[in-house]
Structure 1
């Protein structure tokens, strides 16, 4: 817990609006990806087909889209950002694994890697000063 407080103090002292815009863009991207998965459920089923033999396919179908939708909104507003990103990490790691298990799609692999790197950055950095977390912390 002490490490999180230290990271928050450092992030709040070194916060910049462009970093918050990147966080908000990440939230919008994840939300739109969730909407896309909900509107094209067959595409999601086809993406998960290389790991279908492992099991849990129905769980994955019902986890990925809602996690992107809710997580995207939470990341956009900066509300419990680290928890929302923590929920995205298994999905992003799975997206990278699926590219190696099935047919390699360089564009999807690059997008998953870029999103994973940005998520890990915000997992360390936090939500910043222009966020709901900071606002609620200042209201106490």
Structure 2
């Protein structure tokens, strides 16, 4: 718990508007991808084909879209940002593995890698000053 408090204090001292805009852009992108997967479940099923032998493939299909959708909203508002990013990490690691290992689409591979790196940044950085987390913390 002390580590998280020290990370929050550091992040609040080093908060800049471009970093908050990057957090909002990450959340908007994840929200868009969740909305896209909800509308085209066939695309998501095709992406999950390499994992067909794993038990719980249906759970995987029902986890990705809502996690992106809800996690994206939470990240946009800066509410429970670290928890939302933790929920995204298995999906993003899987996307990097699928795109680099099995697909031949370099654009998607690069996007998946960038989103993973930015998500890892916000896992350590937190939500910053311009967020609901900071607002609620200051209300105490």
Question: Would the TM-score normalized by the shorter structure come out above 0.5?
Answer: yes
Q: How many residues align?
A: 140
- How far residue 83 of structure 1 moved from its aligned partner, in angstroms, is 0.2
Compare 123-132 and 96-105 and name the one that shifted more.
96-105
- Indicate conservation of the 8 Å contact 1:37/1:65, yes or no: yes
* Unaligned 5+ runs, structure 2: none
- Indicate conservation of the 8 Å contact 1:74/1:80, yes or no: yes
Residues 3-82 of structure 1 aligned to structure 2 (within 5 Å): 3-82=3-82
- Indicate conservation of the 8 Å contact 1:81/1:127, yes or no: yes
Aligned to 1:97: 97
- How far residue 51 of structure 1 moved from its aligned partner, in angstroms, is 1.7
For residues 50 and 100 of structure 2, the distance between their equivalents in structure 1, rounded to whole angstroms, comes to 9
* Unaligned 5+ runs, structure 1: none
For residues 107 and 50 of structure 2, the distance between their equivalents in structure 1, rounded to whole angstroms, comes to 18
- How far residue 119 of structure 1 moved from its aligned partner, in angstroms, is 0.3
Over the aligned positions, Cα root-mean-square deviation in angstroms equals 0.9
- How far residue 57 of structure 1 moved from its aligned partner, in angstroms, is 1.3
